[in-house]
Amino acid sequence: MPVNLKDYPATDFFDETLERPNRSRSHATGLARLLRTLNDDELAARQASAELAIKEMGITFSVYSEDEGTIDRAWPFDILPRIIPKDEWDRVEAGLIQRARALNHFIDDIYHEQRIVTAGIFPPEVLAKSKNFRPQCVGVSPPLGVWAHICGSDLVRDRDGTLYVLEDNLRVPSGVSYMLENRLVTKRVFPELFDRYAPLPVDGYAAQLYDTLCQLCPRRTEHPEIAVLTPGIYNSAYFEHAYLAQQMGCELVEGRDLFVDDDDCVYMHTVSGPQRVDVIYRRIDDDFIDPDTFRADSTLGVKGLFRAWKAGNVGLANAPGAGVADDKVVYAFVPDFIRFYFDQEPLIPNVPTYRCMFDQERAYVLANLATLVVKPANESGGYGMLMGASASNAERERFARLIRADPRNYIAQPTLGLSTVPTIVEGRIEPRHVDLRPFILSGRTTQVTAGGLTRVALRRGSLVVNSSQGGGSKDTWIVDTEEP
């Protein structure tokens, strides 16, 4: 029998595809029509085809298990694309550009005049306890005044359809390779859907990234030597490191492949002898990139790399120190950055956020732990959080003690009713919660991917979309008009 969208379960959340069971939103009518021409077996066959393609293409991610160590798993993917109308996306794109520019202004200001601190907009105690502020970067001026060349800002939609920025990822944001591969897999399994729609392309990302990196080259040359610096094969994002290096035609290197000579330039060991490296897209945290400057016990980085960057002899993306803005407490102040630096209102709002460092806000959080999500300043991947609604009394009491002991380290937010989209689960189409990570490239200009990586919580009722905790992903389509 054909897929019956009347059986699509009703939801209390904002569904981005269906206004109600069997009635699609205008931008998703083409998808709904196609689904009605398929039966359950055909849909299952296409899902199986996608999973086989993922295995054949070697699309994997790594998770760490205490029992089994690092495990490579096939990338979890749902074949039904998430469709977003372009007129809505145009405003989102403008808001992300505004936000990325404000973040770069803030980082540059923090390492120079600190005007935003002097003006009383940004509390000095937040900076004083920042785990990612690097005093070694004070006074350094990177090319173009840009510190965060690659940013992944996570977007969520609440019950009423309002889109919010949930967090900003500026240290080593990952996931863009899966965005690119998702499109390739979708073309394999739903070629006829591309006859109905013309989603904005995403396959130009590697060229855009390469151009952005070339802008950091410290010397005049038509062909800069660019390298992607990876921690190695056991890193959870190693697939992405290798993929991007291959797509850009760059070298994939580990720290042991590079050295800094007496001229404060970076060189790469090759069979033909040392070769100078102009730009490094580093996928290693600040702490590990240079044992001479940061963690002395690091075996992942390159001795003297920070010195070479500070001397202006190598470009680093993202720049050391950019992580000062990759902090969930700093996140709460980004709307103030936009107002301070640009005299503008944010085009995309933050999720309402309570900062536990302030007495009144902390009192509210402690009195309402059962309804809030509490996050530490510098954890990622969904770890270290309290989901108050599902937590035990003991867990809430433990977090209350943590907040009182170090209030600067915690924020709290209401539990959002994340929007849903149709997802194939055990042969049935059911609503599942999603977020979206667009990628923003900042150089001479600022560019945003057409959509981004949609992450989906595959478990019923779960709001956790991270692949390391059972989430999956979808192709994201920005569509202007539906083809007749």
Pairing of strands 275-277, 266-268: antiparallel
The residues, ordered by sequence, that sit 6+ positions from 23 with a Cβ below 8 Å of its Cβ are none
Fold held by 354-414: Dna Ligase; domain 1 (3.30.1490)
Helices in 266-351 by DSSP H: which ranges? 286-289, 305-310, 328-331, 334-342
Helices in 322-412 by DSSP H: which ranges? 328-331, 334-342, 359-367, 393-405
Contact 308, 264 (CB under 8 A): yes
Can you tell me the distance from the alpha carbon of 470 to that of 388, in angstroms, rounded to the nearest whole number?
Answer: 20
Domains of the chain, residue spans: 219-313, 354-414
pLDDT beneath 50, residues of the chain: 1, 66, 483-484
Write the DSSP assignment of 435-458 as a string of letters: EEE-EEEESSSEEE-SS-EEEEE-
Nearest to 327 by CA among 447, 410, 413, 432: 410
pLDDT at residue 12, as a whole number: 85
74 beta partners: 60
pLDDT at residue 483, as a whole number: 47
pLDDT at residue 1, as a whole number: 44
The residues, ordered by sequence, that sit 6+ positions from 182 with a Cβ below 8 Å of its Cβ are 77, 453, 473, 474, 475, 476
- Residue 475, H or E segment: strand 471-479
Write the DSSP assignment of 161-197 as a string of letters: S-EEEEEEE-SS---HHHHHHHHHHHHHH-TTHHHH-
Can you tell me the distance from the alpha carbon of 90 to that of 163, in angstroms, rounded to the nearest whole number?
Answer: 13
* CATH fit for domain 219-313, picks 1.10.10.10, 3.40.630.10, 2.70.150.10, 3.40.50.11290: 3.40.50.11290
Whether the CA torsion 74, 75, 77, 81 is positive or negative: it is: negative
Please, what is the end-to-end C-alpha distance for the chain in angstroms? 25
CA 159 from centroid of its chain's CA atoms: 22
Contact 448, 55 (CB under 8 A): no
| Domain 219-313 identical in fold to domain 354-414 | no
